[in-house]
A and B are shown apart, each in its own frame.
Chain A
Amino acid sequence: MKVNSPLEVYKFLPQTNCGDCGEATCMAFASHMIDRSLKLEDCPPLLEDKFRKKYLKLAELLAPEIREVIIGTGEHAVSVGGDDILYRHQLTFFNQPALAVDVWDTMSEDELTERIKFINEYKKFYVGRFLKLDMVAIRSTSGDPDKFKQAVTIAAGNTELPLILCSLDPKVLKAGLEVVADRKPLLYAATKDNWQDVADLMMEYDVPLVLFSPDDLDTLKSLAATFLEMGREDLVLDPGTNPQGKPLRESFENFLMIRRAGIKEGQHEIAFPLLAVPMTAYLANDDPVSASYWETVLASVFTVRYGDIMILHSIEPYALLPEMHIRDTIYTDPRKPVKVDPKVYEVGSPDKDSPVFVTTNFALTYYTVESDLASNDIDCYLLATDTDGLGVEAAVAGGQMTGQKVSDEFKRIGFDFSEMTAHNTVILPGLAARLQGDMEDASGLKVKIGPPDSGRIPGWMEKNWPPE
Chain B
Amino acid sequence: MAKKIKLSELGSLFNDMDVESLEGVTIEGDIELEMDTGGGFDPQLAYMLGHETAQIARHLINISRLLGYPVDQLFGSIAQGEVPGVTRPRQLLPSKFEVGRIEEWKNPIQEVILGATSSDGGTRKNTFTLGGENALPYYFDSPMPHRNHITMDVFDMPIGMAKAVKVNYEDVLESPAEWAKKVVNDFGADMVTIHLISTDPNIKDTSPREAAETVADVLQAVDVPIVIGGSGNPEKDPEVLEKAAEVAEGERVLLASASLNLDYERIAKAATDYGHVVLSWTQLEINAQKELNRKLMKQCGVKREDIIMDPTTAALGYGLDYAYTNMERIRLAGLMGDEELSFPMSSGTTNAWGAREAWMVGSPLKEDSDWGPREYRGPIWEIVTGLTLSLAGNDLFMMMHPGSVAVLKEITQSLHGSLERDAVDISDWVTAEV
Contacts and interface: CB of A to CB of B under 8 A. Distances in A.
Interface of A: 53, 87-89, 106, 121-126, 130, 139-141, 143, 166-168, 188, 192, 195-196, 199, 203-204, 206, 214, 217-226, 229-233, 240-249, 252-253, 256-258, 260-261, 264-265, 267, 269-270, 277, 279-280, 282-284, 289, 291, 293-294, 296-297, 300-301, 304-305, 313, 316-319, 321-322, 325-326, 328-330, 332, 334, 364, 371-372, 375-376, 391, 394, 453-456, 458
A103 B170 CA distance: 42
B324 A319 contact: no
Given A317-B372, A329-B324, A206 B366 contact: no
B301 interface: no
B431 A376 contact: no
Interface in B63-99: 79-83, 88-89, 92-99
B368 A246 contact: no
Contacts of A375: 364-367
B421 A214 contact: no
B17 to A, nearest CB: 14
A330 B384 CA distance: 12
Contacts of A140: 430-431
B416 A249 contact: yes
Interface string B344-359: 0000000000001100
B332 A87 contact: yes
29 contacts: A87-B325, A87-B328, A87-B329, A88-B321, A221-B97, A225-B92, A225-B93, A230-B89, A242-B423, A242-B424, A244-B421, A249-B414, A252-B138, A256-B140, A257-B97, A260-B100, A261-B97, A265-B99, A280-B429, A282-B434, A304-B324, A304-B391, A317-B370, A317-B377, A326-B316, A329-B316, A372-B365, A394-B283, A453-B356
A394 B319 CA distance: 12
Contacts of B324: 88, 304, 329-330
B92 A192 contact: yes
B159 interface: no
Interface in B393-434: 407, 411, 414-417, 419-434
Contacts of A204: 79
A364 B317 CA distance: 9
Given A126-B317, A230-B82, 14 more contacts: A222-B93, A225-B95, A230-B88, A242-B424, A242-B426, A245-B419, A261-B98, A279-B429, A291-B434, A296-B383, A304-B324, A316-B372, A319-B380, A325-B384
A321 B426 contact: no
Contacts of B417: 246, 249
A263 B375 CA distance: 41
B320 interface: yes
Contacts of A244: 414, 419, 421-422, 424
B376 A318 contact: yes
B257 to A, nearest CB: 15
Contact of B423 (A125, A167, A245): A245
Contacts of B420: 245-246
Nearest to A122: B369
Interface centre among A123, A126, A252, A279 (most CB of B within 10 A): A252
B427 A214 contact: yes
Contacts of A318: 372-373, 376-377, 380
B384 to A, nearest CB: 5
A89 B329 contact: yes
Nearest to A375: B365
A296 B407 CA distance: 11
A126 B325 CA distance: 20
A465 to B, nearest CB: 17
A270 B430 contact: no
B321 A334 contact: yes
B355 to A, nearest CB: 9
Contacts, number: 261
Given A329-B324, A330-B324, A372-B364, A53 B138 contact: no
B97 A217 contact: yes
Contact of B99 (A122, A257, A296, A456): A257
Contact of A199 (B88, B283, B387): B88
- A-B residue pairs, 10 tightest by C-beta: A245-B421, A317-B372, A455-B364, A217-B97, A231-B81, A282-B434, A318-B376, A222-B95, A244-B421, A221-B95
A230 B83 contact: yes
A461 B353 CA distance: 25
A248 B415 contact: yes
Contact of B433 (A141, A232, A326): A141
A207 B379 CA distance: 41
Given A257-B97, A329-B316, A329-B324, A231 B424 contact: no
Contact of A240 (B89, B319, B426): B426
Interface in B310-334: 316-321, 324-325, 328-329, 332
B95 A269 contact: yes
B92 A226 contact: yes
B14 interface: no
A277 B426 contact: yes
Given A222-B94, A249-B414, A229 B88 contact: yes
Contacts of A265: 99-100
A293 B95 CA distance: 37
Nearest to B328: A87
A260 B99 contact: yes
A225 to B, nearest CB: 5
B321 A330 contact: yes
B59 interface: no
A267 B95 CA distance: 12
B54 interface: yes
A330 to B, nearest CB: 7
A203 B384 contact: no
Nearest to A53: B20
A256 B372 contact: no
B434 A279 contact: yes
Nearest to A212: B427
B266 interface: no
B134 to A, nearest CB: 15
A360 to B, nearest CB: 13
Contacts of A122: 369
A130 B369 CA distance: 10
Contacts of A322: 316, 357, 380-381, 384
B254 to A, nearest CB: 23
Contact of A371 (B96, B328, B365, B421): B365
Interface centre among B80, B100, B325, B407 (most CB of A within 10 A): B325
B384 A326 contact: yes
Contacts of A330: 321, 324, 388
A199 B92 CA distance: 12
Contacts of B414: 244-246, 248-249
B363 interface: yes
A280 to B, nearest CB: 5
Contacts of A293: 376, 379-380, 383, 407
B139 interface: yes
B360 interface: yes
Contacts of B384: 296-297, 300, 322, 325-326
Interface centre among B94, B283, B424 (most CB of A within 10 A): B424
Nearest to A457: B364
Contacts of A188: 430
A373 B58 CA distance: 62
Given A126-B317, A293-B380, A317-B371, A280 B426 contact: yes
Contacts of A240: 426-427
B304 interface: no
Contacts of B99: 257-258, 260-261, 265, 267
A163 B252 CA distance: 57
